[in-house]
Each structure stands twice: as C-alpha cells, then as structure tokens.
Amino acid sequence: MKLAKRAEIDAFFAKPPANMVGVLVYGKDRSQVIERCTALAKRIVPDITDPFNVSLITDTDIEGDAGRLEGELQSLSLMGGKRLVRLKFFSEKAALDKAVAASLKAHAAGDFNKDAFIIIEAGGLGSDSALRRLADADKNLASIACYEDETGDVVRMAREALAADGVSLSSAAMDIFAQRLPKERGIARQEIERLILFIGPGSHKTLNEVELQEFLGVEPEASLFKAASDAFGGRMKAAQAGLRRAFAEGESGPDAMRAISLQYNKLKLLKSMLEKGLGTKEAARNAGVFWKDEDDMLRQARAWNFSTLDALARDLIDADKQCKSTGMPDLLIAERLYLQIAGRANRAGL
C-alpha cells in the first residue's frame, strides 16, 4: 500500500493497521528516512534498543547469509508480543533486491511469524525495484517515499519543534526563518535546534523578526563550525588552530564530525542549487547559509566538484566511526580529517 499524502502517513504512524506486517521507507532524503523509521519503530516496540525484541540487520548481512532475513522473520519475541526487525537496505544489486522482495512477500502472505514487524530503511529505489513494487501493491505492507521537504513541511516541523520546547516565533519571524532553512530535513533540524538554544528552552518566549535577525546574524557557535569552513575553504592553518581551540573549549570528536558533516552537506546542497540554475542569493538561502558566510561558501561551491565531494563521504563516515570505536585520541582523528579536506581544497584551487 502506497502512502503519499501527509494525512495518510500521520494516521498510519499514529496507529499502524493491525494487518500490517512491514513498511518500506525509502528516498534520497536520508535524514527524513531515518527519522520516519525511528518514529515508527517506537510505535511497534516499547524499547527499540532491546536486543531480545529487536533485530537490526543490513543488506551485507543478507548477502552473506541468504537465509538470514527469513530467519529473523520466523523468530519469536522472547518477551512475547510484537517483534521488530529493522533492515538497512542500500544495495543497488537487482538480485538482492529481488531476494528481499521474495522474503517480504512470503511474510506478507503469513508464512512467517505474524507478530514480526519489519521496517526497511532504503535509499532512492527506482520504479524497477521489485521491493518497492511489492510494498506499493501489497495490502499487508506499506511504502513511504521521502523527498526533500516543501516549505510548508519545514515550517510545520519548525513550529512543532519550537512548541515542544516551549518557545515560538511570530508569524513574520517564521516567514523569515523558513526562507533561511534548507529543505534537507537533517540540516534544517540542526538549525531549528540551534534556534531553540538561542531563545532558551522552556522560556515560553516568542521571538519577533527583529530579535530573530540577531540570531541569523550570529556566527555558528564556537570554533568548530569555523574550523570546518576553513577546512573546506583550504585554510589549513586556520582549520587546525580552530579545531584545537574547540577541543580546548571542551568539544569532542563526535562534535567535530557533526560540524564537518554539516559543512559538507551544506556545500553539496548549495552546489546542487547552483547547478539547477538558481541565483547565488536564492541558492545560498535554500541551503541554509548564513549571510555573512555566503561569499566564502559560494567560492567553495565553485571550486569543489561532485566527484571529489562524493569520494570524501567515506572518509567522513570512517572518521566518525573511529571517534566512537577506537582508542585513538579524538583530536588526532579529527585533525587528520580536517587537514586532509583542506589539502583537497587546495588542490581544487582554494
């Protein structure tokens, strides 16, 4: 069953139909895919981290063990009741796509544990995907596509997040803020969270447009964001100095990874906007670039190319994993990555 309208999706998430045994959430907006999958998982089981009631598998697991997915769908919950299976599926192999679709079809037909609910988190599946076609058509399954948010969706998300923390914006201020927010949900949410901190969580304060301008004019806090910008701008010494200063101020490796990832995502988004033919001002605004940073970000967007940026994605992921799992000092891992990026920026002409 294909869910496309917001009302349909909201109703489904509020109370998944009893006959449903699985959901496919896919699309190029990875942040939105993850957000929706996590929200739905919390509806299915009380604790999504419970190893006795939740299984997390990947396409690599299935590729290495053909019976793994069916085994998980046959297993019973040790606690009784619903059991959750979460599959992260980002393979582009048609054979694997068909294999997963076959297992899912059998599960939808009632061949496995009827109390096992599967959530599949996937990338941008094409219309030729057997998995997508099955989830679109089967009455016991659902499919949800995640595309870039429209302005109305971003405004709604901002209002809900602000209200949850007891703060708000005036109508005029919200109009201005919405124009500055990027459509990519993950980046937009980070900006909203930063605004909440600026207003003061729980303060019950409503910011007007004049007060909002104070926030929009504030440089992203501390040294990390400046260091990340310096890295992508090819300013090696400044990036290193800023990074060390940030760590001296108490920042950590994961903080440094978030900052560099935010800069990376903004840069790619800005470059995409420019490639689509948007004017520089409009492109910068849609990518969530602060007005004081526009000239530098535009310079970076013109110098970096997509092939180099795409190749950098793996380095970002690896460095983030190292910060969380190895015994190496966080500063050393972050510094190596920031300097590596600055070096590539220099080779790109920055």
Residue-wise pLDDT tens digits, 147-166: 765 556 778 889 999 999 99
User: Where is the domain boundary, 129, 145, 161?
Assistant: 145
Question: Are 138 and 185 in a shared domain?
Answer: no
Question: Are 262 and 316 in a shared domain?
Answer: yes
Question: Are 211 and 229 in a shared domain?
Answer: no
Phi, psi of 119 (to 5 degrees): -115, 120
Per-residue pLDDT at 325: 75
Residues 229-239 have a mean pLDDT of: 95
Question: Are 10 and 141 in a shared domain?
Answer: yes
User: Where is the domain boundary, 178, 197, 216?
Assistant: 216
Question: Are 112 and 12 in a shared domain?
Answer: yes
Band (pLDDT 50/70/90 cuts) for residue 178 is confident
Per-residue pLDDT at 236: 94
Res. 299: pLDDT tops 90:
yes
Q: pLDDT averaged over the chain?
A: 87
Could you report the per-residue pLDDT of 42-78, keeping only the tens digit for each?
A: 999 999 988 889 999 988 888 888 889 999 999 988 7
Instruction: Name every residue whose Cβ is closer than 8 Å to that of residue 101 and which is 6 or more positions away in sequence.
Output: 129, 130, 131, 133, 134
Question: Are 38 and 115 in a shared domain?
Answer: yes
Adjacent-strand bridge partners of 206 = 168
Q: Which residues of 198-230 are buried (b: 16+ CB within 10 A; e: fewer)?
A: bbeeeeeeebebeebeebbeeebebbbbbbbbb
- Residue 308 is part of which domain span? 224-347
Res. 214: pLDDT tops 80:
no
Could you report the per-residue pLDDT of 112-142, keeping only the tens digit for each?
A: 999 999 999 998 888 889 999 999 999 999 9
- Residue 230, domain CATH: 1.20.272.10
Question: Are 17 and 131 in a shared domain?
Answer: yes
Residue 330: how many CB atoms within 10 A of its CB?
20
Residues 93-108 have a mean pLDDT of: 93
User: Where is the domain boundary, 199, 216, 233?
Assistant: 216
**Number of separate domains in the chain:** 3
Res. 219: pLDDT tops 70:
no
Question: Are 133 and 228 in a shared domain?
Answer: no
Question: Are 269 and 321 in a shared domain?
Answer: yes
Question: Are 171 and 233 in a shared domain?
Answer: no
Res. 242: pLDDT tops 70:
yes
Per-residue pLDDT at 284: 87
Question: Are 46 and 124 in a shared domain?
Answer: yes
Res. 264: pLDDT tops 80:
yes
- Residue 163, domain CATH: 1.10.8
Least confident of 5-14, 122-131, 267-276, 319-328: 319-328
Question: Are 33 and 108 in a shared domain?
Answer: yes
